[in-house]
Amino acid sequence: MKRLLTVALMLVVAYAAHAIKIIHGPYLQAVSDTEATIVWVTDVKALSWVEIAPDDGSNFYNVERPKFFESYLGKRPFKTVHAVRITGLQPGTTYRYGVASKEVLFQKHHRVHYGDVASTRVYSKGKEKYPKAFTTLNPQKEKCEFLVLNDIHSKQEKLSALLNLYTKDQTDMIFYNGDMVSIVHREDVLFEGFVDYSVTAFAKETPFYMVRGNHETRGYFAEKFLTYFPTTTNKPYYTFKHGPAFFIVLDGGEDKPDSNLEYYETAAYDAYRLEEAKWLKEVVESEECKNAKYRIVLIHMPPVGRMWHGPQHAGDCFLPILNEANITVMLSGHTHRYSYNTPETTKAKFPILVNSHSTALRANVGQDGINIDVIDMSGNTTHSHSFK
Ligand SMILES: [Fe+2]
């Protein structure tokens, strides 16, 4: 009996010694002019929330800050992957934030016992400045700058070299235009592949927008794509306006026919692209799209050259709609090679710029046009394009 009690006591001590930890993030997702979602992961299940404060120089602890939390059918969930949507924000406005997760120790019927709370700092310590802050999109902004990276396939040396182009003051956002990893067979693939590095480099303060590549459709965790990368539409295709540009992010799905043996009867991308095309038709008819100075489309697989089925079908579904929408430029990846495709060489009525796996696009969007530089891992500009 005594021995049993000793073992039980040791277990209690061991359990008490555990303190909940934030193991990934936080990082910004689905930032629009009025909303933002903050995502982070804890090592154990927790009840989570985000506190928001204006960027007014006040101490974060000056007053009680508004709290935001996830809820599903009115109930706050216990989770390890937390995605808290903050609503009711003002366009082009900076907000400071802190995240917190309270460990769930024990649940019996309706009763819950909580443990420690893990949180981000809301005051500076050492060199790193806290609390972190983000700025909502601003459709009225005169100009904007963004980076596009694609086909990184978890190669850290490429990611870190190309993200040297990021500057907090200049870069409004980063697009990851597909195939950031090769197969999503476990959660860590996403974090080890590109999310953790992004969090360190910029993603606590500047959002990245995911454009799903064909490789992100593969593996056990692929269907959890929106858990880690939520969007304003709850689909991997969405739009937003920032500065003079209206951005249309499309999901091309897989690259081979749905019946391909590699997919083991799990692919239904033809029907998916047709459904997406219906949504796209509504998008291009919206006033927000029509009235923008420029319309920029991002899709991982470009409808150019001798195509496999995926890009061919994506082109068949989307190009007839986009060709009537006065698109300024389409940005793609997938081929791992740079190419610039004029309307004379494709079925598109607009140019298609394909970025390679070892270069980034840096786009400056202004009132006089869009300038896009193709920049290699050493920081050299290899090509430049201008669009009116
Ligand atoms: Fe690809």
What is residue 16's predicted lDDT score, i.e. its pLDDT? 54
What is the average pLDDT score of the chain? 95
Compute the distance from residue 215 Cα to the ligand 1 centre, in Å.
Answer: 6
Mean pLDDT value of segment 265-291? 97
Is 99 in the same domain as 153?
A: no
Compute the distance from residue 23 Cα to the ligand 1 centre, in Å.
Answer: 29
Beta strands of 79-163 (E only): which ranges? 79-86, 94-108, 111-119, 132-135, 144-149
Is 201 in the same domain as 299?
A: yes
Compute the distance from residue 228 Cα to the ligand 1 centre, in Å.
Answer: 20
Is 49 in the same domain as 81?
A: yes
Tell me: the pLDDT tens digits for 56-98?
999 999 999 999 999 999 999 999 999 999 999 999 999 999 9
Compute the distance from residue 290 Cα to the ligand 1 centre, in Å.
Answer: 30
Q: Which tokens go with 102?
A: 């309270």
State the burial class of residue 141 (Cβ atoms within 10 Å of its Cβ: 0-12, 13-18, 19+).
middle
Residue that has been written with the tokens 């391909």 in this structure? 260
| Residue, of 326 and 10, whose pLDDT is higher | 326
Q: Is residue 324 part of a domain?
A: yes
Q: Is residue 27 part of a domain?
A: yes
Compute the distance from residue 151 Cα to the ligand 1 centre, in Å.
Answer: 7
Tell me: the pLDDT tens digits for 20-45?
999 999 999 999 999 999 999 999 99
Tell me: the pLDDT tens digits for 114-124?
999 999 988 87
Q: How far is CA 73 from the centre of its chain?
A: 25
Q: Is residue 9 part of a domain?
A: no
Is 154 in the same domain as 272?
A: yes
Q: Give the strands of the sheet with 208-210, arranged side by side.
A: 208-210, 173-176, 144-149, 359-366, 369-376, 381-387
Is 64 in the same domain as 171?
A: no
Distance CA 242, CA 244 (A): 6
What is residue 320's predicted lDDT score, i.e. its pLDDT? 98
Compute the distance from residue 201 Cα to the ligand 1 centre, in Å.
Answer: 24
- By the 8 A CB rule, do 373 and 338 touch? no
How many domains does the structure of the chain reveal? Answer: 2
Q: Is residue 2 part of a domain?
A: no
What is residue 2's predicted lDDT score, i.e. its pLDDT? 61
Compute the distance from residue 300 Cα to the ligand 1 centre, in Å.
Answer: 7
Q: Is residue 4 part of a domain?
A: no
Compute the distance from residue 304 Cα to the ligand 1 centre, in Å.
Answer: 13
Q: Is residue 279 part of a domain?
A: yes
- Last residue of one domain, picked from the residues 135, 169, 195: 135
Position 365 pLDDT exceeds 70? yes
Tell me: the pLDDT tens digits for 300-336?
999 999 999 999 999 999 999 999 999 999 999 999 9
DSSP alpha helix (H) spans, 266-308: 269-284, 287-291
Is 78 in the same domain as 167?
A: no
- By the 8 A CB rule, do 295 and 286 touch? no
With left for phi above 0 and alpha for psi between -120 and 50, is residue 263 left, alpha or beta?
alpha
Q: Which residues contact 256 (CB under 8 A, 6 or more apart)?
A: 262, 263, 267, 308, 309, 310
Position 362 pLDDT exceeds 50? yes
Tell me: the pLDDT tens digits for 214-244?
999 999 899 999 999 999 999 999 999 999 9
What is residue 12's predicted lDDT score, i.e. its pLDDT? 53
Compute the distance from residue 18 Cα to the ligand 1 centre, in Å.
Answer: 41
Position 383 pLDDT exceeds 80? yes
Side-chain half-sphere CA neighbours of 74 within 13 A: 0
With left for phi above 0 and alpha for psi between -120 and 50, is residue 319 left, alpha or beta?
alpha
What is residue 14's predicted lDDT score, i.e. its pLDDT? 47
Domain that holds residue 93: 18-135
Distance CA 10, CA 93 (A): 51
Compute the distance from residue 240 Cα to the ligand 1 centre, in Å.
Answer: 24
Compute the distance from residue 355 Cα to the ligand 1 centre, in Å.
Answer: 12
Compute the distance from residue 212 Cα to the ligand 1 centre, in Å.
Answer: 9
pTM for this one?
A: 0.94
